[in-house]
Each structure stands twice: as structure tokens, then as C-alpha cells.
């Protein structure tokens, strides 16, 4: 029997089509949607509004996919990081970041990344593949399971109130799956996280920014990190394809207003992009765009040549932006006691797995299931 169809990740039309295939009435699709996304069902037997015979018929033909937790780390500051494994064994990271009055779940969109930003640990991991809509939604379902946040609580009473697509991968290089996953997440009769509470972070895939604005209109964050093309070409090779002027033009057309500004993420690299001249050029660059800044003290990882700017330099940079009328808070490092930086936990697991394989080989144990990579 072929692979069972996973109902998680199907949009409403696809779910209705499967219900029709089963010869069931259309309202069953609505019931399934409710159980999967509002009640967080992981087994058809939990769907008490469906007859036992229908539950069994569903279980014969379909599954309710959930990534499995390979590793979990919980920081003293409440940040929680999961390394999740998908059906084919590939893994990606998901992070829960608690804030005072809300909590964000950071989702990955690819295994590895298409891009190679020099300051990013994930950028050292070759792209393995795009995540499917089911695997993107599945990350949020696992986070809800972990906090027992089922059925979907009212908007005001949630621990997992926001979603940020700032994990592994470039979401706009996996647009179709990301868009499908976000439409499922935003559906008011299921998980019901509003577009105002979703932020998609991109390194600047210009053609898809327009589409994202038209179709999803979620909050946008731009991984900017440099204000001159020559430097950004070095730090983020995507800039060679979509240079700053083109990127800014696309952002001027993105649906924003004073309440929903574009967030410019700016990693503070010592002696590289942290001068006052850089700050002033940044102000000039975003002129006319409803903008706010997120200054990120660089989280150094093993093997990278960059260092984090000195605290005084970051504060001076922030003051320059504040004085120009922009919100420019300095991001508080979260989960510094766990492998918080994007991609670190995955690499650490891969390294540990390789060591285990090598040790077994040294001991003469040949393991065809886990050959040395």
C-alpha cells in the first residue's frame, strides 16, 4: 500500500476533495479541519464527533502527520528549542521565544538553506530540501502540543501568540509551501493566528516580496545587515542578484502603515557594519518606508571570523536611529545557555551522530543503517 496521505498541510479544497473520495458529505471536511487545527488531534479516534466506523475508515487511508522531537533544549530564560525530524529523517529547528506579553514560535522553511550569508550558521549547511506545508504547519503543532495549548485559545490568552518565519532557510525560496502553510495557520476556524501576529523574514528575494504582500500581507522583516552594495554582496550573496536599490523599491510597494512597519534586522559586526556613517546611510536608505529596526548583537559560533560589536558601539548606533525618529531596540540575546543561534543545534546533532558512527567503526561495528556521512 502506497504512502498514506497526510491530512495535515492540505488546504480546505484538498480536504474537501479527500472527503468526497471517501464518499462522505462535505460537512465532514469542516469537522476534520476543526479537529486537526482547533483541537490538535493526532489520532482519528480522538474525533468524538465522528462515528467509530468513519474514524476507522479515515485511519485506514490517512494519517495525521507530526514531526518528531529529536532533541529539545530549554533555556533558563524560558526559550525552548526543538530539533524536529521529518518522515524522511531530515531535521530542522523550531524555537519558542517567550516575551513579556506574548510568545513567538520561530519556524524553519527549509532543511539547510539556499543562501550562504557569511554571519549565519545555517548558511554553512547546504540546502537539502524545501519543507512541505505539512512540515511547516507541523512545527507549530508540535509547539502547541508541548505547551498543551489545545483547543486554540482566544487570541488574548495564548502563550504561543505570534509566529516568525526566521528559522532555517529562505522562506521566499519556498514560497508556495510557505504561503499554503500560513493560509492554514491564519484560518480563523483552526489555529487562527492573525496575519498581524505573523512576521516573515527574508534576505531580500525581490520578486516574491511583491507576491507575499499581495497574497499574504503578513508583517515583513528584512535581513539587511549592510547599507552598501559592496559590503552586502560580501555578507549576503543574494544582494548581487537583488541589490539595495531594487530591494528598497519593492519595499516601498509593500502593504504597510504606521502600525505595521517593516522591520529591518541588522546584525552588529565589529568594525564591519557598525559605524555612525553606516547608521546615517541606513536612515537615508529607508527614507519614506514605514520602518523600525532590530539591532542584533552577533552571536558568535565556532569557526566564524566575525566578532560582535562592543556594547557602547551598538548603543551609539541605536541612539543615532532613535534620534532620527525610528524604533531601534537592541535585541536581547535569548537562550544563550542553549545552542540558540540558527542552525547550531542541527549541526551539533549532525556532529554527535558522525562521532558515534566513527566510534562504532573504530570498534569494528559496521552499521549499514548509519554509514558515516
Task: Compose the 322-351 pattern: x for residues touching ligand SF4 by CB under 6 A, - for all others.
Answer: --------------------x---------
- Scanning 8-16, 163-171, 176-184, 356-364 for contacts with ligand SF4 by CB under 6 A, the matching segment is 163-171
One residue of 91, 170, 274, 320 binding ligand SF4 per CB under 6 A: 170
Q: Which long-range contacts (CB under 8 A, 24 or more apart) does 183-186 make?
A: 183/11, 183/216, 184/9, 184/11, 184/37, 184/133, 184/137, 185/137, 185/140
> Does 308 engage in binding with ligand SF4 (CB under 6 A)?
no
Phi, psi of 260 (to 5 degrees): -125, 80
One residue of 41, 84, 115, 218 binding ligand SF4 per CB under 6 A: 115
* Cβ 121 to ligand SF4 shortest distance, Å: 8
One residue of 113, 131, 193, 341 binding ligand SF4 per CB under 6 A: 113
Within residues 180-209, the interface with ligand SF4 by CB under 6 A covers 203
Q: Which is nearer to ligand SF4, 50 or 179 (CB)?
A: 179
- Scanning 9-17, 73-81, 112-120, 352-360 for contacts with ligand SF4 by CB under 6 A, the matching segment is 112-120
Q: Which is nearer to ligand SF4, 113 or 184 (CB)?
A: 113
Provide the strand spans (E) within 90-243.
Answer: 91-98, 103-106, 110-111, 129-130, 162-165, 198-202, 219-223
* Cβ 346 to ligand SF4 shortest distance, Å: 11
Contact 318, 328 (CB under 8 A): yes
342 is catalytic: yes
- Scanning 27-35, 50-58, 113-121, 145-153 for contacts with ligand SF4 by CB under 6 A, the matching segment is 113-121
Question: Which of the residues 113, 120, 308, 342 is marked catalytic?
Answer: 342
Beta strand 62-63 with 198-202 is: unpaired
- Scanning 73-81, 91-99, 118-126, 352-360 for contacts with ligand SF4 by CB under 6 A, the matching segment is 118-126
Q: Which is nearer to ligand SF4, 15 or 295 (CB)?
A: 295
Half-sphere exposure of 371 (CA within 13 A, CB side): 2
* Cβ 235 to ligand SF4 shortest distance, Å: 9
**In angstroms, rounded to a whole number, what is the distance separating the alpha carbons of residues 271 and 221?**
24
Question: Which of the residues 91, 93, 135, 170 is marked catalytic?
Answer: 93
One residue of 92, 120, 222, 279 binding ligand SF4 per CB under 6 A: 120
* Cβ 310 to ligand SF4 shortest distance, Å: 23
Contact 32, 46 (CB under 8 A): no
Using CA atoms of 240, 178, 224, 95 in order, give the dihedral in degrees to the nearest 10: -130
**In angstroms, rounded to a whole number, what is the distance separating the alpha carbons of residues 18 and 10?**
10
One residue of 40, 138, 169, 190 binding ligand SF4 per CB under 6 A: 169
> Does 122 engage in binding with ligand SF4 (CB under 6 A)?
yes
Tell me, what DSSP letter sits at residue 132? P
Within residues 264-303, the interface with ligand SF4 by CB under 6 A covers none
Q: Which is nearer to ligand SF4, 94 or 161 (CB)?
A: 94
Contact 26, 43 (CB under 8 A): no
> Does 223 engage in binding with ligand SF4 (CB under 6 A)?
yes
Tell me, what DSSP letter sits at residue 35? I
Provide the strand spans (E) within the chain.
Answer: 5-6, 62-63, 68-74, 80-85, 91-98, 103-106, 110-111, 129-130, 162-165, 198-202, 219-223, 262-268, 291-297
> Residue 277's Cα: distance from chain center in Å?
32
> Does 93 engage in binding with ligand SF4 (CB under 6 A)?
no
Q: Report the SS3 class of residue 86.
A: coil
Helices (H), 93-223: 133-147, 175-186, 206-215
**In angstroms, rounded to a whole number, what is the distance separating the alpha carbons of residues 34 and 312?**
51
* Cβ 117 to ligand SF4 shortest distance, Å: 3
117 is catalytic: no
Query: Which residues form the catalytic set?
Result: 93, 342
The contact set with ligand SF4 (CB under 6 A) reads: 113, 115-117, 120, 122-123, 168-170, 203, 223, 342
Amino acid at each position: 500500500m502506497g504512502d498514506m496521505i497526510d491530512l495535515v498541510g492540505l488546504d480546505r479544497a484538498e480536504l474537501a476533495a479527500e472527503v468526497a473520495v471517501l464518499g462522505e458529505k462535505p460537512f465532514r471536511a469542516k469537522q476534520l479541519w476543526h479537529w486537526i487545527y482547533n483541537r490538535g488531534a493526532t489520532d482519528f479516534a480522538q474525533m468524538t464527533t465522528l462515528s467509530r466506523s468513519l474514524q476507522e475508515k479515515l485511519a485506514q487511508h490517512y494519517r495525521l502527520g507530526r514531526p518528531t522531537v529529536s532533541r529539545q533544549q530549554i533555556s533558563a530564560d524560558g526559550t525552548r528549542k526543538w530539533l524536529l525530524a521529518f518522515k524522511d529523517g531530515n531535521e530542522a529547528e523550531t524555537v519558542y521565544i517567550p516575551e513579556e506579553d506574548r510568545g513567538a514560535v520561530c519556524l524553519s522553511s527549509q532543511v539547510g538553506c539556499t543562501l550562504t550569508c557569511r554571519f549565519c550558521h545555517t548558511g554553512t549547511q547546504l540546502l537539502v530540501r524545501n519543507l512541505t506545508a505539512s512540515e511547516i504547519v507541523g512545527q507549530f503543532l508540535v509547539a502547541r502540543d508541548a505547551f498543551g495549548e489545545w483547543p486554540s485559545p482566544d487570541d488574548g490568552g495564548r502563550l504561543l501568540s505570534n509566529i516568525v518565519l526566521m528559522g532555517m532557510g529562505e522562506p521566499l525560496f519556498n514560497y508556495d509551501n510557505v504561503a499554503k502553510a500560513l493560509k492554514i495557520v491564519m484560518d480563523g476556524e483552526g489555529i487562527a493566528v492573525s496575519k498581524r501576529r505573523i512576521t516573515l523574514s527574508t534576505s531580500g528575494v525581490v520578486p516574491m516580496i511583491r507576491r507575499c504582500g499581495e497574497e499574504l500581507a503578513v508583517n515583513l522583516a528584512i535581513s539587511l545587515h549592510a547599507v552598501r552594495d559592496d559590503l552586502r554582496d560580501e555578507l549576503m550573496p543574494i544582494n548581487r542578484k537583488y541589490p539595495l536599490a531594487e530591494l528598497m523599491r519593492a519595499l516601498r510597494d509593500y502593504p504597510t502603515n504606521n502600525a505595521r512597519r517593516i522591520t529591518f534586522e541588522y546584525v552588529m559586526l565589529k568594525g564591519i557594519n557598525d559605524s555612525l556613517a553606516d547608521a546615517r546611510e541606513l536612515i537615508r536608505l529607508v527614507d519614506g518606508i514605514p520602518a523600525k529596526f532590530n539591532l542584533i548583537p552577533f552571536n558568535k559560533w565556532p569557526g566564524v571570523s566575525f566578532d560582535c560589536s562592543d556594547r557602547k558601539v551598538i548603543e551609539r548606533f541605536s541612539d543615532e536611529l532613535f534620534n532620527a525618529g525610528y524604533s531601534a531596540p537592541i535585541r536581547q540575546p535569548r537562550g544563550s545557555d542553549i545552542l540558540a543561534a540558527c542552525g547550531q543545534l542541527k549541526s551539533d546533532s549532525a556532529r554527535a551522530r558522525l562521532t558515534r558512527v566513527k566510534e562504532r567503526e573504530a570498534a569494528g561495528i559496521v552499521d549499514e543503517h548509519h554509514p558515516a556521512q
